[in-house]
Structures are given as structure tokens and as C-alpha cells.
A and B are shown apart, each in its own frame.
Chain A
Amino acid sequence: MTADQIREYLEPRRHEFADPRSLVLPALKFAQTGRGYLTREDMEAVAEATGYSASYVESVATFYDRVYTEPVGTRVVSVCVSMSCQLRGADQVWEALCDKEGVDHHHGGTSADGRITVQEAQCLGYCDRAACIQVDAEETQGPHTPDSARALVDELRAAPDPDEYWR
């Protein structure tokens, strides 16, 4: 993503933010839509477009869970592990997905074929339909069981790649 593209994206949104530092986050999320994660060049472009130092931009990027500075899967599946979901079997959903994708039970991770990343999320605000899952930045869905979650990633794996990676 180039600095010019980022500037063009930010310009109509600039008025929404009283503190210009707040522009860094939307800029990062937009810069990420190209690859699904940020490269060094992407962060330098954000720095150029927002006028902050590259190291500051990176500090913002590393603060947030949904901004990635390392490659992740084509689709990112976030499993809510907060209290309501836990009470409704989120642990089983989480473990089922980790086992299916062959990733670590503690930290989640990306499947060997690079298609699916499984990660924990804190409360997604969908407690009435726990246990819930969010795919990329799509609308949260639930309630899920281990079986429905496995079916979901099968669907995702079969689906075409998204044009833009909003996460």
C-alpha cells in the first residue's frame, strides 16, 4: 500500500478524529487490506501519510490484536473466550478449531496450508448468542458448537479469497 493510497483513504475520514494521532489506526487497518498483514513498507507508508515516525506507527500496530505485523492466514477466525461464551462451551469450540487446524492450544496460530488463522478474542459483545465467532471483520456469528465451527472453517477454506482483507 502506498502513502498516496493511504492519504486518499484518510482524507474523507479526517474530520472524524479530533486528535490527528487517532488517524494512525484507520490508516493501519486500511494498509492491511492489501495483504492481510503489514510489511515494513506498509508501516513506513502509514508513517509518511500520517506524519508520525515509523517507530510510533509500529508501536500502535503492535498494541492491537487485529493489526498484524507478521503474515497470517487468508481468513482469521476469532473465537470469543470471555465469560458468557466460556459458560456456553467456548473452550470446546476453541479446542476443536485448534485441533482441526493443527495449531497450539495456548496461542492458536495459522494452519500449515496458510488458509486459516485461529485466535482468541475477548468479549465480542455477542453474549446472547454465545459461543460466538468472528471471521475477519465480518459480523459476529453464533451460537457455535464444535461441529458448527468445524463446518465454518471448511466453508471458509472452500470460498474464494477476499478482494480486500479487512480485519
Chain B
Amino acid sequence: MADYARVDLDAENQVTFELNGRQVSAPAGTMLVDACYAHGVEVPIFCYEPRIGPPVGACRMCLVEVEGMRGLQTACSTPVRPDMVVRTDSPAAKDGQEGVLEILLMNHPLDCPVCDKGGECPLQDRSFKFGGGKSRFFEGKRHFPKPLELSSRIALDQERCISCFRCVRFSQEVAQDGQLTMQERGVQSQITTFSGDAYEDRFTGNIIDVCPVGALTSIPYRFVARPWDITNTPSVCGLCPVGCNTELTLRDGDVKRVTGRPDPNYEVEEGWLCDVGRWGFDGDGGITRLTRAIVRDANGERHTDLTDAVAAATVALRGASKPVGVLLGATATVEEAAIALELAGGALAGARVARLGIPAAPLAALRATPRAQLDEIERADLVAVVGGDPGLAQPITELRMRKAVLRNGARLVTIGSRPGTLADVATHVHAAPGALTAAVAELAAQIGATGRPVVLWDEAELAAEPAAAEALAEAVSANGATRQIELGADVNGAGLRALGIPATGLLEALEAGELGALLTVRADPRSAPGRVAWEAALEGDVPVVALATHADRTTDAATVVIPVQSLLEQEGTLVSMTGRAQRVRRGAEGPAGAAPGWEVLIALGHHLGAPPAYRTASAALAAAGGRYAGIEGLTYDAMGVGGVELPRPAADHLAADAGPARAAGSDGLALVATRDVYGGREASRAPALAAFHAPAAATVSPATAAALDVTDADTVTLTSPYGAASLPVRIVDGLSDDAVFVTLGTADAAAEALMPPDRGPVRVGVSVEARR
């Protein structure tokens, strides 16, 4: 349970004490509740939540008897001491616990039968287990209007609140958004925001998970299911490269809810989720979901079944007189990539396999330096973020960095073209786009003078500045204590790289007319960076077989479209940006007309006359684990429920995976293609995330806006050597001047149109298209 902190019973400094007549031990400083839990004794709690911060003793539930101490003690805030004698089940302790529960239940409505929390409610469970089962309170209970919409996603049933302060502390101390507080006092105490404003922020859903009663519930999940209707499946979020461990709640073959794991993965997300990870599942269905296969031929377009579509795909791929290209998207799983590689070695011999992503070569040296998992951020005394805006692109890392600063006093430095979401706790060192190298040199000196630095670096921004990446690699390896964490750009980029799949080569071959057909797996090159070049290369009569979950620009034009299951619906393995291989598990059943991507690829192998020697995802992974050094020995058993860390790639891994050298030139403004999972395609499909939906924009600093003579009512046309896009202007303080910031992954794929396929540095010309 996340409620109790982990206790290392093998650590040195053990303290021995007596617990309910037994001699037990725990490390000095351990709180009594945790020590008891580690020894199989549950002391009931409500407000205690070690992930949020130090104990506050607000609920008084954890009363225990400690010999020699006057009255009962709160076990959450009493550390173990040598030879203390603790009783959690003595008449005095039981009387205290029953009394506290009676007070907590005094004003608590007994509406469990209509409460969403009923059946999975700590207050309910602990009332049964530790309560006296009686109440002496005959007066009227307090009433509040209900349910209050705390935000568009969270309902507040105020009368159920037991004033444990967990949500307030999460808001104030973990997310540090400063929004939730307790107002009024005594019996009128209530959780609210300033003036009752909506609690809209990026990590708000976690207060639902930490609420020990039914006061805070998810609006999309309201009255959807009962705990006995559902099954919970541990899985991994596939919406960004962090790889947060999640739990999928299933009912009637559908995912109804996503929550943090009750047993968190402390090396990754620590049980927290961003709101996109929590409610993004809501967009998995919807009108753009592909539910039937499509075949387009001389007779036009027809919907068909999977068997027919695989047959048509076989014809398209086998009919090619030249080699086939296989393009893997960022969310293609390790299994799918491995099967694709096997097809390229057999059934589609000579095929060229590539991934949609950032070329690996410029970052190879940096990736080979000592790496850390996210929990290392907590132990650091200096945390440096080089490039990017992790709070938007790899959201959960932000909470770790805030924890490092607030609870551990670490120094946080952000380096780059924008202060980002950490501006209130970080020292921002400004580095204009293209000028990271000098800033990295400065950082190197600071790292050298620090005991335990952790450097987080943005894959996209450092790939665009290879010199800075080289310098950072040197700085990290110079000090033996420094650890680096990649802020990855692509969900399974690390998994595809571990199989040796390059990001370059395929488009060039297509442009040179060397390929006879293209097979895409969860890839939409027509919406990817360099999409203008991809569109031109696909202009001819190259047949395209697309395996996809949702309709996109590629499936709109493909010869054969085969619907595949989403990452909520099929088995798979994703490798996080920190190199953790973790299992995605089957939650929802998915549309009847879709199949798992790996199964479609295996079927293609059979149709093409070179069947792989396995029939399941787990066997496909095991086979791949025996073949590729990057994932050597990887199996579902080896990953277990929390995943395993893969070995770091060697410094010469994928050394040839580089785009052509590009000079940015000096005309126009630098283009900074930003990542924002809250503004991305997946989030925009989810009705539950409507509060985040915002149109794509060309974002500039006030000085740049003045120099361009534009206001935020204008629309501008951006033009680069690779394409053009029209966007409304948005003006934001603190950004680099002479730069335009455009978000990647939006529905209109504007930033992608301006970029070359290998991303590279880009400068854009700006002309005013429309003034309001």
C-alpha cells in the first residue's frame, strides 16, 4: 500500500522495540505506523501519506499505547526508539481508535450505497476493522450543497470529508500549485479553492487517489461502476516516454478509469499521474478510432474484415518489385518492432526498417554515460535541466524535482530557451536556441563542484545541438557521482533504439525510388516532422499498408488500413526514457474489427510464406530477447510487475544513425518545436481533458512580437525551407527573443510541416497573414 512508507528491515542502524508482546526491529527514525506495518500490524491511518510529506497528525486515527508515555500517541508521528513498548491492540489503544472513528463518522453521511468510493474506501474498511460499530450522535449532520464541481474532472462531496488535509497538502506541497485550502473552521471546515474557482491544473487527479473517503471523486467515473463490477490490471501509460505505472479499471470490456498503482513504482512515478495519463484513456474510442479495415484499389475504397485486409496487405507488399520499407511509430511496442525486424530478415527480405524519431548518433556518447532512474532526483543536491520543458513534455518528472527542492533542499537549475513550469522553484539560465553549448560549459563547472548532481537533458533539443550533447557527455562522465536522465521525445524511442532501429535512411531510400512499398506500424509520417518531404516521397504509386489505431493523414491515403488495438487493449513492452522495460497489459477489449499489432504482423509473416516461430506476444519478446543485445534475456517474467532496467547502450550504438549536417542559417527566427502532452493529439481526443484543449499557436516573446509588429489577435504564416504553416500568435513572457515556439503533436501538425525529418535546427520566416 502506498499509505505506508517502505521500511528496510535489513538496513544497519536497526532499533529493537516491543510490539504487541513481540521483539521487533526497524531502522532508527522510522515512524511507528510504518514499522508496525512492516511487521504485519496495521495501525489505521487517514491523514498519514509519506509520499506527500512529513506527518501532520490531523486525523488522530493512529492512536497506540506506548508504555511510559502519557496518554495515547499518534503512531504516524512517533519514531521508533530503543526498547519502547508499543501496544496497538490493548484495551486503551482500541478505545482510542474506536473513539476517533466515532468522531470522524459523526458528521459523515452513511451514503456508502450511493458513494463511488464504497467498496474501496479506507474509511469504510477501517470502520469495519477498527470501529466500535456504534454512534452516540443523534443530532443533525452537517450539510453542504453537493456535489460541487471542484473542477471539470473532480467532484467534491463536502459532507463526506473528514478534514485529513491530504488533498490540501498534495496541492500545496507536491504539485505546489497553491490552489486547494481548508476554509472556515470547526464543523464548517471545507476544502475549496480561492473564491471557489475551478481547480484546474496539471496533476489534480492525484487528490482523488489520496482521498481516504468519498469526498473527491472523478467526474468521468461518477456512478460508472462498483468495485465488485470491475477488475484492475497493472499496466504502463503509453502517452509519454516516462512510462508511469498505472492501473486500468475494467468493466464490460472497457477501460473506465486509470489510477496510480496502489503499490507505486518508486523508481518511476511514485504513484502519481498527470491528468493526461489519468484521463487520456477517454480519447481512445471516439469518432476517429478505426474499427474496420479499409482496402483501396482500382475499384475504389471498401471496408472489409481483418483476414481480407491482411491478404490485401500481403498482395501489396509481395507485389513490390523493390524492397519494402517498414516504418515504426513512437508507440510501436518492442514486440511489434522485433517481429517487423524478423519479417525484414525473412518474409520481406531486404526490407529497410526505421522508426519515426530522432536520429541516435548525436546523442550516443551522452546516452552511454551513467544513467539514473527518477528516484535519484530526490537524492541529488543539484538538479539541472538542460533544454525542454519537462513539466509539459514528461510531466511526472516535475513532481520529483519539486520534491527535491522543497523537501530535500536541492538546487534546481533550468537551462534553455524558456523558463517552463518549474520557474517558481528553479534558477533559470537563459540559453537561446542554438546556444546551449556555452550554457553547458557553465553547468559543467557547477557539476564539478557538487557532490551528487543529476542532469536531465532534452532529447530533441540536444540532438539539434550535437556540440552541446558532446560537451554534456563529457561533463557528466568527468565527475564520477553525476547521473543523467534523458527527457525523451518518443514513447518507445528507447525500445526501438535498443533493437538497433535507426531513425534515418528510410525516407532517403523512398525519395531515391529504391522502395516498392511501405508498411507503417503505429506511424503517421504525414503528420511527423518532415511531413512535407514524406508527403512528396509518398506521392507516387508506392502502396502503403498502415497499421493504426486512429484515422490519420497516413490512413486516409493508405492502400490497406488495418486497425490495431491501442496500448490499453493489447499486450506489449515499452521501454521508458530511463531505459526501463515495462509491460503494457490488456485492459479493454477494443473494437471488434481491430487486432493486436503484433498479431497482425505475425499473420503477415504467415501470409508472406515465412511464418515466425511463435504465436504470442510473450513468445515474440522472448525470441527477440535471445537475438538483440539491447534487450538480452528480456521476458515477461523478467519484467514482472515493475519492469526492469535495460543495460545502457554503448557509446557507438547506432553511430551511423545521423541526418545530414544542417546549418541553421541566420535568416528569420529560430523555430523551437515544443512538446506538450496536455496540448497533444491524444489529449485533444479526450472529452475529459477539454479544459486543456487549446488551439496551436505561434508563441513568441513580447519583444519578438513588437519586432514583428504583431499582437495576439493576429495570424502569421511561418515559412521554413521544409514547409509552411499558418498559426495564430500568442505572446508569452520569459521566452527567448528572435524565436518562435510551436507545439508538436497537435492536430494540425504545424510544427511538423516546418521541420526536416531528422528534426535539425530550423529557422523560419514570418509574415502576417491576417490582422484582427
Separation in Å of the B220 CB from the closest CB of chain A?
25
**How distant is the Cα of A56 from the Cα of B183 in the complex, in angstroms?**
9
A63 at the interface (CB under 8 A from B): yes
Separation in Å of the A130 CB from the closest CB of chain B?
25
Q: Are B185 and A53 touching (Cβ within 8 A)?
A: no
Separation in Å of the B186 CB from the closest CB of chain A?
10
Chain A residues 45-87 with CB under 8 Å of chain B are 53-59, 62-63
A43 at the interface (CB under 8 A from B): yes
A21 at the interface (CB under 8 A from B): no
**How distant is the Cα of A57 from the Cα of B172 in the complex, in angstroms?**
13
Q: Are A58 and B179 touching (Cβ within 8 A)?
A: no
Separation in Å of the A13 CB from the closest CB of chain B?
24
B193 at the interface (CB under 8 A from A): yes
B147-184 contact mask (Cβ, 8 Å, vs A): 1 or 0: 00000000000000000000000001000001111111
Separation in Å of the B197 CB from the closest CB of chain A?
8
B221 at the interface (CB under 8 A from A): no
Q: Are B184 and A56 touching (Cβ within 8 A)?
A: no
Separation in Å of the B207 CB from the closest CB of chain A?
14
A40 to B, closest residue via Cβ? B195
**How distant is the Cα of A54 from the Cα of B196 in the complex, in angstroms?**
11
Chain B residues 520-562 with CB under 8 Å of chain A are none
Q: Are B179 and A53 touching (Cβ within 8 A)?
A: yes
For A57, what are the chain B residues with a Cβ–Cβ distance below 8 Å?
194
Q: Are A58 and B195 touching (Cβ within 8 A)?
A: yes
**How distant is the Cα of A55 from the Cα of B199 in the complex, in angstroms?**
11
**How distant is the Cα of A58 from the Cα of B195 in the complex, in angstroms?**
8
Q: Are B180 and A55 touching (Cβ within 8 A)?
A: yes
**How distant is the Cα of A99 from the Cα of B50 in the complex, in angstroms?**
53
A58 to B, closest residue via Cβ? B194
Q: Are A62 and B183 touching (Cβ within 8 A)?
A: yes
B188 to A, closest residue via Cβ? A62
A40-B195, A43-B194 known; A59 vs B178 contact (CB < 8 Å): no
Q: Are B194 and A55 touching (Cβ within 8 A)?
A: yes
A25-56 contact mask (Cβ, 8 Å, vs B): 1 or 0: 00000000000000010010000000001111
Q: Are B184 and A55 touching (Cβ within 8 A)?
A: no
Q: Are B181 and A58 touching (Cβ within 8 A)?
A: yes
For B185, what are the chain A residues with a Cβ–Cβ distance below 8 Å?
62-63
Q: Are B181 and A59 touching (Cβ within 8 A)?
A: yes
**How distant is the Cα of A124 from the Cα of B653 in the complex, in angstroms?**
78
Q: Are B178 and A56 touching (Cβ within 8 A)?
A: yes
Q: Are A59 and B179 touching (Cβ within 8 A)?
A: no
For A43, what are the chain B residues with a Cβ–Cβ distance below 8 Å?
194-195
Separation in Å of the A70 CB from the closest CB of chain B?
12
Interface of A is mostly: helix
For A59, what are the chain B residues with a Cβ–Cβ distance below 8 Å?
181-183
Q: Are A54 and B194 touching (Cβ within 8 A)?
A: yes
A52 to B, closest residue via Cβ? B178
**How distant is the Cα of A58 from the Cα of B172 in the complex, in angstroms?**
14
**How distant is the Cα of A53 from the Cα of B177 in the complex, in angstroms?**
9
Counting chain B CB atoms within 10 Å of each CB, the highest count among A43, A54, A55 belongs to A55
For A40, what are the chain B residues with a Cβ–Cβ distance below 8 Å?
194-195
**How distant is the Cα of A59 from the Cα of B192 in the complex, in angstroms?**
9
Separation in Å of the B175 CB from the closest CB of chain A?
12
For B183, what are the chain A residues with a Cβ–Cβ distance below 8 Å?
58-59, 62-63
Separation in Å of the B190 CB from the closest CB of chain A?
9
For B179, what are the chain A residues with a Cβ–Cβ distance below 8 Å?
53, 55
Counting chain A CB atoms within 10 Å of each CB, the highest count among B172, B178, B179, B181 belongs to B181
For A63, what are the chain B residues with a Cβ–Cβ distance below 8 Å?
183-185
**How distant is the Cα of A40 from the Cα of B172 in the complex, in angstroms?**
20
For B192, what are the chain A residues with a Cβ–Cβ distance below 8 Å?
55
B182 to A, closest residue via Cβ? A59
**How distant is the Cα of A59 from the Cα of B181 in the complex, in angstroms?**
6
Separation in Å of the A53 CB from the closest CB of chain B?
3
Separation in Å of the A136 CB from the closest CB of chain B?
22
Q: Are A62 and B194 touching (Cβ within 8 A)?
A: no
**How distant is the Cα of A53 from the Cα of B192 in the complex, in angstroms?**
13
**How distant is the Cα of A62 from the Cα of B182 in the complex, in angstroms?**
9
Separation in Å of the B727 CB from the closest CB of chain A?
33
Q: Are B184 and A62 touching (Cβ within 8 A)?
A: yes
Q: Are A53 and B184 touching (Cβ within 8 A)?
A: no
A65 to B, closest residue via Cβ? B185
**How distant is the Cα of A54 from the Cα of B197 in the complex, in angstroms?**
11
For A58, what are the chain B residues with a Cβ–Cβ distance below 8 Å?
181, 183, 194-195
**How distant is the Cα of A58 from the Cα of B179 in the complex, in angstroms?**
11
A85-107 contact mask (Cβ, 8 Å, vs B): 1 or 0: 00000000000000000000000
**How distant is the Cα of A58 from the Cα of B193 in the complex, in angstroms?**
9
**How distant is the Cα of A57 from the Cα of B195 in the complex, in angstroms?**
11
For B194, what are the chain A residues with a Cβ–Cβ distance below 8 Å?
40, 43, 53-55, 57-58
For A56, what are the chain B residues with a Cβ–Cβ distance below 8 Å?
172, 178, 181
Separation in Å of the B730 CB from the closest CB of chain A?
24
B187-215 contact mask (Cβ, 8 Å, vs A): 1 or 0: 00000111100000000000000000000
Separation in Å of the B760 CB from the closest CB of chain A?
42
**How distant is the Cα of A103 from the Cα of B193 in the complex, in angstroms?**
30
For B182, what are the chain A residues with a Cβ–Cβ distance below 8 Å?
59
A58-B183, A62-B184, A63-B184 known; A53 vs B178 contact (CB < 8 Å): yes
For A54, what are the chain B residues with a Cβ–Cβ distance below 8 Å?
194-195
Chain A residues 124-162 with CB under 8 Å of chain B are none
For B195, what are the chain A residues with a Cβ–Cβ distance below 8 Å?
40, 43, 54, 58
For B180, what are the chain A residues with a Cβ–Cβ distance below 8 Å?
55
Separation in Å of the A150 CB from the closest CB of chain B?
31
For B184, what are the chain A residues with a Cβ–Cβ distance below 8 Å?
62-63
**How distant is the Cα of A57 from the Cα of B178 in the complex, in angstroms?**
11
A109-130 contact mask (Cβ, 8 Å, vs B): 1 or 0: 0000000000000000000000
**How distant is the Cα of A56 from the Cα of B195 in the complex, in angstroms?**
11
Counting chain A CB atoms within 10 Å of each CB, the highest count among B172, B182, B193, B194 belongs to B194
**How distant is the Cα of A40 from the Cα of B178 in the complex, in angstroms?**
16
A54 to B, closest residue via Cβ? B194
For B178, what are the chain A residues with a Cβ–Cβ distance below 8 Å?
53, 55-56
**How distant is the Cα of A147 from the Cα of B179 in the complex, in angstroms?**
48
A64 to B, closest residue via Cβ? B185
Counting chain B CB atoms within 10 Å of each CB, the highest count among A40, A56, A57 belongs to A56
**How distant is the Cα of A54 from the Cα of B183 in the complex, in angstroms?**
12
Separation in Å of the A50 CB from the closest CB of chain B?
13
For A62, what are the chain B residues with a Cβ–Cβ distance below 8 Å?
183-185
**How distant is the Cα of A89 from the Cα of B183 in the complex, in angstroms?**
33
A-B contact pairs, 8 of them (CB 8 A): A53-B178, A53-B179, A55-B179, A55-B181, A55-B193, A56-B181, A59-B182, A63-B184
Additional pairs, 12, CB under 8 Å, beyond known A56-B181, A58-B183, A62-B183: A40-B195, A43-B195, A54-B194, A54-B195, A55-B181, A55-B192, A56-B172, A58-B194, A59-B183, A62-B184, A63-B183, A63-B184
Residue numbers of A with Cβ under 8 A of B are: 40, 43, 53-59, 62-63
Residue numbers of B with Cβ under 8 A of A are: 172, 178-185, 192-195
The list of the 3 closest CB pairs from A to B, nearest first, reads A53-B178, A59-B181, A55-B194
